[in-house]
Each structure stands twice: as C-alpha cells, then as structure tokens.
Amino acid sequence: MTTKIIPTSYPPAPVGFGESLKYWLKLGFISFGGPAGQIAMMHLELVERRRWISERRFLHALNYCMLLPGPEAQQLATYIGWLMHGVKGGVAAGVLFVLPSLLLLIALTWVYVSFGSLPVVAGILYGIKPAVTAIVVFAAYRIGTRALRHGVLWAIAAAAFVAIFALDIPFPYIVLGAASLGMAGGKFMPDKFKAAGGHGTSGRDYGAALIDDDTPTPGHACFSWARLSGLVIIGLVLWGSVMALLSGQSTLFTMGGFFTKAALVTFGGAYAVLPYVYQGGVEHYQWLTAHQMIDGLALGETTPGPLIMVVAFVGFIGGWSKALFGPDTLFWAGAAGAGVATFFTFLPSFLFILAGGPLVERTHGDLKFTAPLTAITAAVVGVILNLAVFFAWHTLWPAAIKTAPFSGQFEWFSALLGVAAFIVLWRYQAGVVKVIGACALLGLGYSMLA
C-alpha cells in the first residue's frame, strides 16, 4: 500500500548552498545499491520529499546523463547540484558523492592486502568470488534485455564478444567500431537504431518544486561559448597540471593516462568499463592479479558510491605492489594510486556536466547523436559477458593458466554458490549487498569445514 502524496501549491523555500552540502554528504555515505538504487534515493528525496526539482526536470537530467560515458548516478547528482548552485554546486555534489567511498575503499583495501592471507579473510573471499561472477552475469542479462531489442543489436553484441574474447581486441577499438556501425545504421536503418524509451514519468503530482517544469533555466545553465571554452580550458589545465606533477613517478603517470582513457569509454555504466580496466590493470600493466580484480569488485559492490570506484582498489593495489615510495611506505603508495585513479576517472564526468551540459542538451533526441550510443550499448553487453567468462574461469579453475585453461581442481562448491547467487538475483530480485554477505558466510563456513 503506497502513501498518497498530497500536492503542495507553493514551492519550498530557496535552498542555500550549505543546506545542499549537508544532503550531498549524507548521500555519499548511504548511496548503496548501485546506480538504480542511488537514482531511486535521489528521486525519493529531491523530487518527492524536498521538492527541490520536478519529476520532469529530474528525468530530463537523468536521460541526458545516461547518454554520457561515466557513472550516471554521480553525474545526475553533479547535474542537479550545478542546476541549483552553479559550478560550485555541481563540484560539491559530485565530489561528496565519491569522497566517502574513496576513503572507505582505501581503508578496506589496506585491510585486504595486509590481512587477506588469514584463514578467516581467505574463507570470506572464497565465497565472495562466485557471488561477484553471478552479479556480472546478471548485469549482462539485465542490460541485454533492455538494450538488445532486435537481431541487428544482438549481432553487434555477439560480434563484440567474439572480438574481445577470441581476437583480444582492446575495448576502446570495440567502442569505436560499434559507434561507426551506429552512425551508419542511424542513416540507413534509422528504425533499428532509435534510442530506447526513457525512464518514463510516474504520472504523479508531488507539488510545486523549487526547479519546476516551467522554471526558467538559470543563467549559469544557458549555453555560452565563453563559458564552455573557459570550463574546458580549466579542465585541461587541471588534467595537464596533475599529469606534469606525476611525470617523475612513471607508474602514477601511466595510471593517469590509463584511467583518463577508461573514463572516456565508460558507455553503459561501470560494468562496461571493467573489461578495459581488467585488460590494462591485470594483463598489460600487471598492477594486480585476476583474483585480486574479482575481490576488488566485491569490495566495490559492498561500499557506498558508484561501482566504478573499483578503480580506487586497482590504483591502491598497483601503488602497493610497485612499492612506489619504498618498502616502508606501502600504505601511502597505495593511497596515492587510489587517489590518482579516482581523480582521472571522474574529471571527465565533471567536464561533461559543467561544460557540455547546455550544449549536449540541444542534441537530445537527435538520431545522429543517439544511434552510435545505441550500438555502443549493444556492444557493451557482449563485452560484459566476456568479463563474466573470465571471472567464472578464474573462480572455478583457480590454478588454471592460458596454456592449460582447465588444469587444476574444479571448485564445485563455487559453481553451486554462483548458480544459487544468480537465481536469487534474477528470480527474487535480492539486493547485491545481501547476496555478497550470504555468499561470504557460506564460503567461510565451507572453508572452515574443508
């Protein structure tokens, strides 16, 4: 039984910058549940309860953020903060959405690398690995059912899977190839590459909002070439300045360039970029192992903030394993790696909203703009499925290597746990944190009895 929302005739009182800061900080600590849960939290609080923004304006912002690379929930918070209080509001909302997760992941990753070999911790991680594999498979299923609406998009997804699994083609090239197909498809088969319908509206009236349907766009949100140029220059200067500071430390400098590229190909959410991070962090630069990558994804799933914050784990392990500042300062090396990974992953997101928001909104619904993104989303399904295959392989045959892919003992308990976790996610719509917690306990119990 739902509670009836009684419309209010008058909008709420203007919200000061300090009051909005308190909300964004609170959101940073409670934003569990992935992007869907985070967006639902913001809708409940900002649209229904506080009425800072109307339903239609909220959904318009969300649909725009979903067209961009990067974490849509963090970008949505940045967008609303920017709409309310300009650049400072957007920066504050976006930073506070991420900062608690970064600090928590630094602490948890330190515990992981310092005490991960203890039997209790190892048992917990044993149960978490098949849960993470099931979560990635479920993500491919969930995105696929929404994005693959006909045979052409299914074919793009299949081609992307073959490209990355069998041909080992880097993820950015797959994105570029899919975008090219989308551009051609939008021209010759427009009906096949129309963007899927938006989130829709609830049809409910929550009352007059501070930023209502007919509220004029504030001056700072209107398009201006001078404002666009200024913000782009500031962003490039920030990027170049930090890269210059890191030039004396080759590993951190490499991380800066790598995570910048990762941020620019994150179409389709965090699960879409994980294969690219896996290719670079595990296979190319060898900052961490495949098993550590799975553990990092589990930590990312159980902490607040966007799932893409798993990059902080990758950066921490990379800094720690390379002993950047010597063997006596491993924690600070890890913290530096986590900070660099986070900074360069999220800097483009801020630029997309603060600088590109007014410009890109003009193209919203334009097939020339949305068709490539439709094709990229289809390719992302195949890429995520490939990631699930890799995770399952390392979980079920932990001792296997590429030249002997099925060598070593088969982990039958992990297989059962993974299947059970997928069923619970799919059939009963259980929360990710609950699934990981239950699998962790079962893995601990099994490892203690084995």
Mind listing the pLDDT tens digit for each residue in 216-234? 777 777 778 888 889 999 9
Are the CB atoms for 270 and 308 separated by under 8 Å? yes
Task: Report angle CA 196, 259, 60 to the nearest 5 degrees.
Answer: 30
What amino acid occupies position 388?
A
Spatial neighbors of 307 by CB under 8 A, at least 6 apart, are 34, 35, 71, 269, 270, 271, 297, 300, 301
CA distance 64 to 394: 37
pLDDT tens sequence across 84-104: 998 999 999 999 999 999 999
Kindly state the average pLDDT of the residues 24-52.
78
Q: Find out whether 267 and 376 touch, Cβ atoms under 8 Å.
A: yes
Which pTM value belongs to this model?
0.70
pLDDT over threshold 70, residue 173? yes
Helix (H) or strand (E) holding 131: helix 119-147
Task: Show the tokens assigned to 219.
Answer: 């001056």
Q: What is the pLDDT of residues 23-33, one digit of tens each?
A: 999 888 877 55
Q: List the chain domain ranges.
A: 101-195+224-449
Q: Is 305 exposed, middle or buried (0-12, 13-18, 19+ CB in 10 A)?
A: buried
pLDDT in tens, 340-373: 999 999 999 999 898 877 765 555 455 666 677 7
| CA atoms within 13 A of residue 312's CA, in its CB half-sphere | 28
Using alpha carbons, list the distances in angstroms from residue 255 to 181, 228, 285, 440.
30, 28, 9, 31
* Cα dihedral 57/62/67/70 (nearest 10): 140
pLDDT of residue 384: 76
Read off φ and ψ for residue 212, nearest 5 degrees. Answer: -95, 180
pLDDT value, residue 203:
47
